[in-house]
Structure 1
Amino acid sequence: MRVVVTGAAGFIGSHLVEALVAGGHDVLAVDVSGRGATQHRAELARAGVTVTECDLAADDLAPLADSDVILHLAGRPGVRGSGGPQTWRDNVTATRRLAEACAGHGTRIVLASSSSVYGSAERPCGEDDATAPLSAYATSKLAAERIVRRGGCDGVVLRFFTVYGPRQRPDMAFHRFIEAGLDGVPAPLFGDGGQSRSFTYVGDVVAATVRAALVPLPGGTVVNVGSPVTVTIGDALDRIGRLLGTTPPTVTKDVAPGDVACTWAGTDRAARLLGWTASTGLDDGLARQIAWHRGRRRG
């Protein structure tokens, strides 16, 4: 299968490219020049993959349409600091141009969206539940979803729930907490730690994304990709401390505007359509992420 991965040098994208190559697929890895960690690009190079530089919001995208499926992970991530024209450009304009380039080619686009489109959950969120984005980031992801679902391409939307694991972005909570525990330098803790999340291991997310590329799905399908178990950030911090053997120091900060109190994945559709459920427990996933942090320090 000919697969394009956008955002290939990112946290999830680099894992996804490696899995596809290992599965024998013909992969074109695409990212913006300078975007993504240099280490991720080096790891992909060791796997025999060169990242092709492409700005989806400005460059010619016709070559990308010559593929069976595009796994579209590129975009500007994160609720904190989102907003302004750059978020819209990278998440919405880029997706619109990609959908336009693929229209009429029969190319499936699988869009990586976000649980943030639901707003704050009080129960497991189903894909047909009302959306209530509370941030510019969430609004941009919902707009990108609508483009893919209505843009004349074979669009599928995956809503990712708080992904963690090796190569996690430095701005994300587990990365900050683990580094704080290893360095003894306090990491920011936004709020009182009572917010809860469906933390989902990156390997599980990659498995679901590959399934979405391979399994026949009706155009416009939306699927949650997340753990059905919610855990508070405070509990996760305690688990990290137990695994490290030391409590990561933190300094309390105000909750960022648009940061939801709870994400909670309803997973029935993923099990039914993709044959997928998250299989990695939080302690096991955190142990793997901690091992990666320690490995980086050893060089």
Structure 2
Amino acid sequence: MKLVYRILFFFLYLLSLLPLRLLYFFSDCLFFPLFYVVKYRRKVVEKQLDECFPEKSMKEKRDIERRFYHFFCDYLMEVIKLFSISKKEMMRRMEFVGLDKVRADLERENKKFCFLYLGHYCNWEYIASLAYWLPEIHCGQIYHRIYNQSFDDLFLKLRGQFGGESILMKDTLRRILTLRGQEKKVMIGFISDQLPKWENMNHWTTFLNHETSFFIGAERIAKQVDAALYYVRVERVRRGYYRASFECMALHPKEYSDYELTDLYARRLEEQIRQQPGYWLWTHKRWKRTKEDWLKWKEDNK
């Protein structure tokens, strides 16, 4: 596996040395075979768009589909560019809005932890560069291991180059409790819109016209360690440039009832997706496990 990793890294690193404008040319070339020939997960995307936006015309939904695939090709090229991107270039292409207020909130409320709610929206890999802007804070992100070990190693290397820590999902609570003892404040990103496994389905809410289960770890752990919670609204300014704005959700999470913060996250993410749906990860089979299937699974596993 290490040989495969080295070959992949070498090839992608060489490709990343090309200017981004040339990589975007490759993106434009990739769109046609991906969309019309390979038809990568098009049935999944079309089914989910049809179910999520019944009020839209077929033309509107197909326009969203094409915009998504154009963006998805750009996303792939932007990820490749991360293999050699400089700190200066990264900080030129990414903008974080509201960091001074977040710092002030943490100081005023004497908070050790700050948790960030994110979605698979726009280029979420760029958000790991937050550590460049916050050298005085221990930054990290929760991640789910990719089944292919070589690709898992590649993405860990990409995310780690900015100085943040990648925390395996199953180790989240243990690691966060360990970080209590260090001097620095801690900021952790939770991408919480992926499909949970059966055993992690504890709460359901309406999201994009579906009964949807969400991970509740960010909310539960925030209450346990009294973390401030923020929603990070990511926007694409133009090709290759992104802006992330911090919106305070809760400075005192214990004051909220169970699942209230998870529902608030779902509402904010849905609002953003409805405004510009082409930037969400529609190839992810988000509703593969339904509530009815989950209830049956619970009954069978009593």
TM-score (norm 1): 0.33
Q: Which has the larger radius of gyration?
A: 2
Larger helix proportion, structure 1 or 2? 2
Larger RCO (alpha carbons 8 Å, 6+ apart): 2
